[in-house]
Amino acid sequence: MKYGAKNQLMGTVTKIKRGTVMSQVNFDIPAKSSMSSVLTVEALDDMGIKEGDQVRVVVKAVHVLLIKE
């Protein structure tokens, strides 16, 4: 899959906080730093993301997108 965003990193999911509609996914990136992304619970379930997973972190403008390949 191709993406227009050029800012891409690999990250490791460290924590998932599930709400009733939205979820927050925290992850560590190679720069010895952490980031987080907010997505719907439905999207989280569709992607099957869980703690310990490796995800591609795509950053474009104000959006931080997670992609599990």
Going across the sheet that includes 22-29, the strands are 33-40, 22-29, 7-18, 54-60, 63-67
pLDDT of residue 33: 86
Whether 20 is covered by a domain: the verdict is yes
pLDDT of residue 31: 82
Whether 41 is covered by a domain: the verdict is yes
Whether 38 is covered by a domain: the verdict is yes
Whether 26 is covered by a domain: the verdict is yes
- In this structure, which amino acid lies at residue 53? D
Q: How does pLDDT run across 18-69, given as a tens digit for each residue?
A: 999 999 999 999 888 888 999 999 999 999 999 999 998 887 766 677 788 8
pLDDT of residue 28: 94
Q: Give the domain CATH number at 28.
A: 2.40.50.100
What is the domain extent for residue 15? 7-67
What are the helix (H) ranges across 1-68? 41-47
Cβ atoms of residues 59 and 18 within 8 Å:
no
Q: How far is CA 18 from CA 15, 38, 43, 60, in A?
A: 10, 10, 12, 24
Whether 1 is covered by a domain: the verdict is no
Query: For the chain, what is the domain count?
Result: 1
Whether 46 is covered by a domain: the verdict is yes
Mean pLDDT of the 14-19 span: 96
